[in-house]
Structure formats: structure tokens, C-alpha cells
């Protein structure tokens, strides 16, 4: 598909869903700024495609967030599409986990995403043009014992993004939340959920290609919520009508495997 964006910036571009989004954007001829900590991975993307600008940054730091925010606001080289995709989770019992890691998780999944959403819309709305895609998760639709902080950060991302979608309606700027279910990426290794590979059958897994494509197509069309895959569309719909007590009990059973 040809995309309406003349340029893009993708965080978390060094692997998984973000990397595939960069491949899709590059194949469609969209020049893209790629953001992550692993510069070597970003430089590999720049070798693979024309039109890639490497911006290595740690988005848990003020300096990293500032660097990316400045790039988003550039008047000389405007960014049409901002994808807040960088994120991670931590599996385990909340009070037994390293609190510094949990603080970084909130800083990346919530604070950096909020700051970059803010500069993106403050830049795009006066231009009356732009697209913002925030990567949330199906985990944001209900509590998730053993992934408690992750689910809470993603509930925030979905709520914030839906609010912003309505706030900017009619300005020419589109805002979408992408809520994937289980997707095979480095996420499982980083979040200590490798055991999901044995716990969950193949048919519940979506591919990073399917998720990335759905996200870019959905934001181009101005959808508020994008849930890739029939199974997860069902999960999202069920979450809206299931009693909260039952939903959190079921979620706890699923996390235990
Ligand atoms: N995979 C799933 O099952 C799944 C399901 C629902 C939602 N999601 C969401 O999808 C998004 C992408 O995840 P993924 O599955 O593609 O996982 P992934 O392969 O682990 O990719 C995560 C990306 O985030 C970047 N990142 C991590 N910490 C960062 C930091 N401090 N500063 C800058 N970048 C950082 C990583 O790059 P560096 O390590 O190089 O910095 C990497 O490029 C995340 O928001 C995740 O929560 C994933």
C-alpha cells in the first residue's frame, strides 16, 4: 500500500514490530528516522534501505527523550508520522521484582511516550497535518497479575491515545493506539516470558509483519483503536463486557500458564 506520510520516526526500531514497520515504510519510499539504544542495529537498517536516519537514544533518560523530541519538532525536516513503539515488560510477582527496572519500564512505556506524543501534536496540529501511532497492548484491556506494571502502563497508553484521538478530531491530525496480542519478537526474552512459547498454541501468535502492517494501515485510515488478529479483536470486545473480578482471575490463570 502507498502511505500518506511523507516522512516518519519510529522508536524501538532495532527489533521486532518497530523494525518491520521501518521495512514497510522504506519499501513504500517513506524516509524514516530510526530510534533505539542499539546503534549497530539501526546502522544495519540504514545499510538495508535508502532514506534511513539513525538516532541512537535511551528513552528512559531525559537526554534521550530531549534528543528525539527535538528531532520531532524540526521545522526544516518535518516528521509526518511519529510511532511510539519502544517498550518492554517484566514478568514476575510485583514486590519481588527490581524496582529500578520497573521505574525504567514506566519511564519508557509512559513518560517518554507522553512527552513524544505531546511534542508531536504540538508540532502537527498547527500544521494541520500529521499522524501519531502509539503502540499499546491487548494487556492494557484488563489487569494482568505477574505483568502488573506492564499492563498498567499499557492501560495508560490506550486511554491517553483514545483521549488524544478525540481531542484532535477535525484538525487534520490522526491519532491511533495499536493493541497487539502475543507477537513473536525479542519482547519475550526481554520480559522473561519465554515460557509463553510452550504455553500458548501457535494459533494465538501474531507475526510482527501482521502487527506492523495493521498499525500503519490503521493510523493512515485514522482508526482510534487497532487490534490485529481475529482472536484479539474478540478478546478486546470481551474485555468490555466481562465483569472485572472475573477478568482479573482469568488473566491471572493465563499468566501462570
Ligand atoms: N511482542 C509482543 O507480544 C507484544 C504484544 C503487545 C504489545 N507489544 C508492544 O510492542 C512494542 C514493540 O515491542 P516488540 O514486541 O517489537 O519487542 P522488542 O523486539 O523487544 O522491541 C522493543 C524495542 O524497544 C527498544 N527499546 C527498549 N528499551 C529502550 C530504551 N530504553 N530506549 C529506546 N528504545 C528502547 C528496543 O531497542 P534497544 O534495545 O536497541 O534500545 C527495541 O527496538 C512494545 O511497546 C511492546 O510493549 C508487544
- Nearest-atom number in ligand 1 for the CA of 42 is 40
Q: What is the pLDDT of residues 168-206, one digit of tens each?
A: 999 999 999 999 999 999 999 999 988 888 888 888 999
pLDDT at 68 over 80: yes
Q: What is the pLDDT of residues 76-95, one digit of tens each?
A: 999 999 999 999 999 999 99
- 40-56: pLDDT as tens digits: 999 999 999 999 999 99
- Could you tell me the pLDDT band of residue 257, with boundaries at 50, 70 and 90? low
Query: Which atom of ligand 1 is nearest to 19's Cα?
Result: 43
d(CA 73, CA 79): 8
- Confidence grade of residue 99 (pLDDT, cut at 50, 70, 90): very high
From the list 3, 150, 196, 232, the catalytic residue is 150
Ligand 1 centroid vs 243 CA: distance in angstroms? 31
Residue 84: inside a domain, yes or no?
A: yes
2 belongs to a structural domain = no
Average pLDDT over residues 235-239: 89
Looking up residue 228, the CATH number of its domain turns out to be 3.40.50.720
User: How many domains would you assign to the chain?
Assistant: 1
What range does the domain containing 34 cover?
A: 8-256
For residue 32 the three cell numbers come to: 524514516
Q: Is residue 54 part of a domain?
A: yes
DSSP 207-245: PHHHHHHHHHHHHHTT-SEE--SHHHHHHHHHHHHS-HH
| Phi, psi of 81, rounded to the nearest 5 degrees | -120, 125
Domain assignment of residue 98, yes or no: yes
Q: Copy the grid coordinates of residue 218.
A: 490503521
* 232 in catalytic set: no
In a domain, 1, yes or no: no
Residue 88 forms part of a structural domain? yes
pLDDT (average), residues 7-14: 98
Ligand 1, residue 18: give the atom nearest the CA. Answer: 16
Instruction: Tell whether 187 is covered by a domain.
Output: yes
| Binding site membership of 185 for ligand 1 (Cβ less than 6 Å) | yes
pTM of the model: 0.97
**Is the CA virtual torsion 255, 87, 85, 174 positive or negative?**
positive
Residue 63 in any domain: the answer is yes
Is residue 147 classed as helix, strand or coil in its secondary structure?
Answer: coil
Number of CB atoms found within 10 A of residue 40's CB? 9
Is the CB of residue 14 less than 8 Å from the CB of residue 38?
yes
Amino acid at each position: 500500500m502507498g502511505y500518506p506520510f511523507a516522512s516518519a520516526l519510529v522508536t524501538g526500531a532495532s527489533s521486532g514490530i518497530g523494525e518491520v514497520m521501518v521495512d514497510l515504510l522504506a519499501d513504500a519510499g517513506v524516509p524514516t528516522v530510526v530510534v533505539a539504544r542499539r546503534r549497530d542495529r539501526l546502522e544495519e537498517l540504514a545499510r538495508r534501505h535508502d532514506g534511513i536516519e539513525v538516532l541512537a537514544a535511551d528513552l528512559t533518560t531525559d537526554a534521550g527523550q530531549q534528543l528525539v523530541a527535538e528531532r520531532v519538532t524540526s521545522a526544516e525536516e518535518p516528521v509526518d508520522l511519529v510511532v511510539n513503539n519502544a517498550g518492554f515488560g517484566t514478568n514476575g510477582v510485583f514486590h519481588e521484582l527490581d524496582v529500578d527496572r520497573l521505574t525504567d519500564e514506566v519511564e519508557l512505556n509512559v513518560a517518554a511516550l507522553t512527552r513524544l506524543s505531546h511534542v508531536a501534536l504540538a508540532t502537527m496540529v498547527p500544521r494541520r497535518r500529521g499522524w501519531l501511532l502509539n503502540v499499546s497492548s491487548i494487556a492494557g484491556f484488563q489487569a494482568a497479575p505477574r505483568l502488573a506494571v506492564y499492563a498498567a502502563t499499557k492501560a495508560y497508553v490506550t486511554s491517553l491515545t483514545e483521549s488524544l484521538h478525540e481531542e484532535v478530531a477535525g484538525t487534520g491530525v490522526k491519532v491511533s493506539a495499536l493493541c497487539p496480542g502475543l507477537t513473536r519478537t525479542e519482547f519475550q526474552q526481554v520480559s522473561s516470558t519465554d515460557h509463553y512459547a510452550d504455553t500458548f498454541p501457535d494459533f494465538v501468535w501474531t507475526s510482527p509483519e501482521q502487527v506492523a502492517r495493521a498499525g500503519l494501515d490503521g493510523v493512515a485510515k485514522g482508526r482510534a483503536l487497532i487490534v490485529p488478529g481475529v482472536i484479539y479483536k474478540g478478546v478486546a470486545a470481551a474485555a468490555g463486557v466481562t465483569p472485572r473480578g472475573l477478568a482479573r482471575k482469568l488473566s491471572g490463570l493465563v499468566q501462570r500458564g
